[in-house]
C-alpha cells in the first residue's frame, strides 16, 4: 500500500502505509516495476488520468508491459456524481462501482459509444466494509449521528442539527447520542459551540471509533454520509435526514429510494426512532449490499485483463 501521509485523525482504524509517497512521485520510483495491477484511489480523482498516462508512457518507452490500472469511487454514487466519477476514470482499464444499479446506469450510458472511444471495463464489487458487524448492538439505546464536514451546506445548518440532537438527548435520558465525525478530524475541536450545553448523555466520539460505534448503535442518523450504509447493512435503524431535499449539493441524491429518509419534525424525538422502518432492502442490494464476493470479482477481472493486451 502506497500513499501520501494522511492529515488529521481518520474516522477509520489506523492502518499504516507500506510506503508514504505522493502518487505523482510514484512514476519516478521503482515501486510500480513489479506491480501486477495498480489500484488508484486518490483524493482528487482528476489526477487519475495524468498518472495512468505517465505510467504507461514510461513503461512503453522502456519496452515493458503495463499492468492493468483500476480505480473507482469508494462509495455508492448516483446520477451526475456517478457520471462524473466514471468520466474521470476513462483512462483506467477497470473501474469498480458498488452495485448493479451503478453498473446498469453506466452501461446504458455508454452502450452506443463508438468503439474507438476508450472506456474502462466495469464491475460491481459491493461495499468497502465488512458485511457482518464487528460487534453486536448495545443493549442500551444509542443513536450515532454521523456529522459530515461540509453537509448540510446551508450556513449554520449543521450547528442547528446538533442543537436539535442535544434537545432530543435532554428529553430522553435513557438514550445515548453520539456525535461522530465521518471525516478526518484535524483538531480536538468540539462539534457543539458550547460543550456545556451537551447533556451527559450526548457525547462526542473520536474519529477512529466510527465503525465500532456504527456496529453497536441502535439507530444511525446522517444527512448523506456514505458510512450510514454500514449501519444499514448491519441492520441498524437508519435515519437519512430529508429536510434538505434530494439535492446533488447535499449528496442526498445518492439515497433516493432508500426508504429511510425522514424529516426531523416528523420524528419528534428519540423515543420514536425504534418505530421507524429498516432500509429498503431491494435498494440496498442494488446499491451493492447484495454483493459478498467483491474482492474475488476484482481479482478475476484483473486476471482476465492481465492475460489480455497488457500482459508481458
Partner 1 sequence: MNRPLKLLLIADSDSQLLACEALCRCQTARPVEFTINVIPRDGTPQHILQRMGHLGTLWRQNLARLLNNPKLLQFDAVGVFLTGSKLNDIRIALERHQQRPKLFCGFNGVVLEHFVEGISWRLGYDLICLSGPRDRDALNQLVAKTPFAQQQTVLTGLQRNGTIEALSPAGQRPKRLVFAEQVVMPSSARDRAEMVKILAELAIRSPNWEVLIKPRITPGDATFHDVDTHISTTLSQTLGVPPVNLKLDYRPLPDLLRKAPLMATISSTAFFDALDFGCRPIAMNDLGLHASHGSHVFAGSGVWRSLRDVPNLDELEQEHPEPNPEWLNWMGYSERYGAGDLFEALENLKPASTTGITHCGYPTNTQSSFNQLRVGAEAAICTGDWRGAADLLTQAAQMRPQHRGVARRVAAVSCQNPLLRRIGLILSYRDLG
Residues that bind partner 1 (CB under 8 A): 78-80, 83-84, 87, 90, 101, 104-105, 108-114, 117, 152, 154-157, 159-161, 164, 242-248, 253, 256-265, 276-277, 280, 282-283, 286
Q: Of the two residues 9 and 84, which places its CB atom closer to partner 1 in the complex?
A: 84
Within a 10 A sphere around the Cβ of 49, how many other Cβ atoms? 16
Distance CA 157, CA 252 (A): 15
* Shortest reach from residue 232's CB to partner 1, in Å: 12
Q: How far is the CB of 158 from partner 1 (least distance, A)?
A: 9
Nearest distance, CB of residue 103 and partner 1, angstroms: 11
**Distance (Å, rounded) from C-alpha 137 to C-alpha 133?**
9
Nearer to partner 1, 96 or 232 (CB): 232
Q: Is 9 helix (H, G, I), strand (E, B) or coil?
A: strand
Smaller CB separation from partner 1, 105 or 209: 105
C-beta of 155 vs 196, nearer to partner 1? 155
270 closest CA partner among 140, 111, 99: 140
Q: Which residue(s) pair with 155 in the sheet?
A: none
CB of 74 to partner 1, least distance (A): 20
- Say how far apart CA 50 and CA 47 lie, in whole Å: 5
Specify the residue, 140 or 263, whose C-beta has the smaller distance to partner 1. 263
For residue 309, the minimal CB distance to partner 1 (Å) is 22
In the block, cell 500482459 appears at: 311
**Sequence-ordered alpha helix ranges (H) in the chain:** 47-61, 79-87, 100-110, 157-171, 210-216, 228-233, 264-267, 281-284, 294-306
Amino acid at each position: 500500500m502506497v500513499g501520501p501521509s494522511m492529515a488529521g485523525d481518520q474516522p477509520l482504524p489506523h492502518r499504516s502505509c507500506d510506503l508514504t509517497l505522493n502518487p505523482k512521485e510514484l512514476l519516478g520510483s521503482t515501486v510500480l516495476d513489479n506491480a501486477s495491477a495498480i489500484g488508484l484511489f486518490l483524493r482528487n480523482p482528476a489526477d487519475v488520468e495524468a498518472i495512468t498516462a505517465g505510467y504507461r508512457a514510461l513503461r512503453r518507452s522502456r519496452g515493458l508491459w503495463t499492468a492493468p490500472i483500476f480505480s473507482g469511487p469508494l462509495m455508492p454514487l448516483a446520477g451526475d456524481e456517478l457520471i462524473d466519477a466514471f468520466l474521470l476514470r476513462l483512462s483506467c482499464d477497470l473501474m469498480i462501482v458498488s452495485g448493479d444499479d451503478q453498473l446498469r446506469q453506466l452501461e446504458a450510458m455508454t452502450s452506443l459509444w463508438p468503439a474507438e472511444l476508450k472506456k474502462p471495463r466495469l464491475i460491481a464489487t459491493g461495499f468497502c466494509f465488512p458485511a457482518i458487524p464487528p460487534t453486536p448492538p448495545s443493549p442500551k439505546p444509542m443513536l450515532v449521528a454521523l456529522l459530515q464536514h461540509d453537509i448540510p451546506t446551508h450556513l449554520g445548518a449543521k450547528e442547528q442539527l446538533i442543537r436539535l440532537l442535544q434537545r432530543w438527548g435532554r428529553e430522553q435520558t435513557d438514550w445515548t447520542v453520539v456525535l461522530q465525525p465521518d471525516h478526518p478530524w484535524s483538531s480536538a475541536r468540539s462539534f457543539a459551540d458550547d460543550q456545556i450545553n451537551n447533556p451527559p448523555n450526548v457525547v462526542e466520539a473520536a474519529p477512529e471509533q466510527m465503525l465500532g460505534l456504527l456496529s453497536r448503535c441502535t439507530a444511525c442518523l446522517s444527512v448523506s454520509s456514505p458510512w450510514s450504509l454500514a449501519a444499514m447493512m448491519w441492520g441498524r435503524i437508519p435515519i437519512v435526514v430529508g429536510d434538505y431535499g434530494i439535492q446533488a449539493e447535499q449528496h442526498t441524491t445518492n439515497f433516493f429510494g432508500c426508504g429511510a429518509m425522514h424529516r426531523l419534525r416528523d420524528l419528534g424525538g428519540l423515543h420514536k426512532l425504534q418505530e421507524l422502518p429498516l432500509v429498503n432492502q431491494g435498494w440496498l442490494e442494488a446499491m451493492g449490499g447484495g454483493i459478498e464476493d467483491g474482492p474475488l470479482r476484482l481479482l478475476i477481472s484483473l486476471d482476465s485483463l492481465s492475460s489480455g493486451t497488457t500482459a508481458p
